[in-house]
Amino acid sequence: MNQVRRNRRLRTTAAIRAIVREHSITPQDFLVPLFVVEGTAIQQEIPSMPGYYRYSLDLLTKEVKELWTMGLRSVLLFVKVPDALKDNKGTEALNPDGLMQRAIQTVKEAVPEMLVMTDVALDPYSSYGHDGIVENGYIVNDPTCEVLAQMSLSHAQAGADFVAPSDMMDGRILAIRSLLENENYKNTGIMSYSAKYASGFYGPFRDALDSAPGFGDKKTYQMDYCNREEAIKETLMDIDEGADIVMVKPGLAYLDIVRDVKDAVDVPVAVYQVSGEYAMLKAAAANGWLDHDTIMMEQLLAFKRAGAQLIASYFAKDVVRVLNS
């Protein structure tokens, strides 16, 4: 049997497979989420995220130096705020000496070249655990945007390179961009969580920050997962308002959205492989049901193939270990 075209010729050896490979994973692809707590010498494992920790500032220094040595170049900071400092308006978020502001400075002192992105949302600071100010049981949009803009400015003043609003209020990108421009933070970037769905996959993260909503859910601001075209509307609006990088979140169940967004925009696309995705694989691997590293790499490559250029993932250090082995 003579065949002119045989696809398997390109799969014959590891070397030919490698040279025709369309996509790959490198340490530079990753944004490493970091959870920060008050105190000293604290490295607390998050129960629903085995192998992932909250760090106090002293150990944060050590951690970011290690990340840098491993070739990881970007971090995304989250803080766990003590209950006593939470209120409806997220007042503590604007404290120039707050935990986030000190965390930014800590990372920049430890590794000045590290790209520092910060989470901008009220939920860790909110007594209601919501991403905005609550009035009569409703999360009000415009007053929340004003706080988010002030919060972003405060992060920029503390030294953040990028702010990453994860709240899904309407118009917050424009509010943030305008204030940063007016205050002469013209090079502070915005990575917008532009297509962020109301998802059950965020559960372990809310454990990590003790930020679960005190009442109701987030469906009046985060997107309905039954919708696909709406993701393009959200994303294009954020770009018009000044987003430098856009994001789809969660990742695993939303690869169609990643590809749609990639095809629709001319800015870099990020994907967030969220806490529930991490927890699922850790649990399956701990039971011996799936091979951890095999599934991890297959899943992460799928994000690249779908069109994501940046990946926020709790697996970043595991990936470097695999790449170096």
List residues near ligand PBG by CB under 6 A.
119, 121, 123, 131, 166-167, 202, 205-206, 218, 274-275
Whole-number Å distance between alpha carbons of 226 and 218 = 15
Least distance (Å) from ligand PBG to the CB of residue 232? Answer: 21
Residues 6+ apart with CB under 8 A from 39: 56
Tell me whether residue 203 or residue 268 sits nearer to ligand PBG (CB atom): 203
Is residue 80 part of the annotated active site? The answer reads no
Tell me whether residue 189 or residue 276 sits nearer to ligand PBG (CB atom): 276
Whole-number Å distance between alpha carbons of 271 and 203 = 18
Least distance (Å) from ligand PBG to the CB of residue 283? Answer: 15
At residue 166, φ and ψ (nearest 5 deg) are -115, 20
Residues 6+ apart with CB under 8 A from 246: 191, 192, 194, 195, 235, 238, 239, 261, 265, 267, 268, 269, 270
Query: Which among 249, 282, 304, 317 is annotated as catalytic?
Result: 249
Cα–Cα distance list, 36 to 53, 92, 230 (Å): 9, 15, 33
Is residue 186 part of the annotated active site? The answer reads no
Least distance (Å) from ligand PBG to the CB of residue 187? Answer: 24
Tell me whether residue 129 or residue 189 sits nearer to ligand PBG (CB atom): 129
Least distance (Å) from ligand PBG to the CB of residue 304? Answer: 19
How is residue 203 written in tokens? Answer: 């559960």
Tell me whether residue 56 or residue 126 sits nearer to ligand PBG (CB atom): 126
Query: Which among 86, 196, 218, 282 is annotated as catalytic?
Result: 196
Which of 250, 246, 244 lies closest to 232, judged by CA?
A: 246
Residues marked active site are found at 196, 249
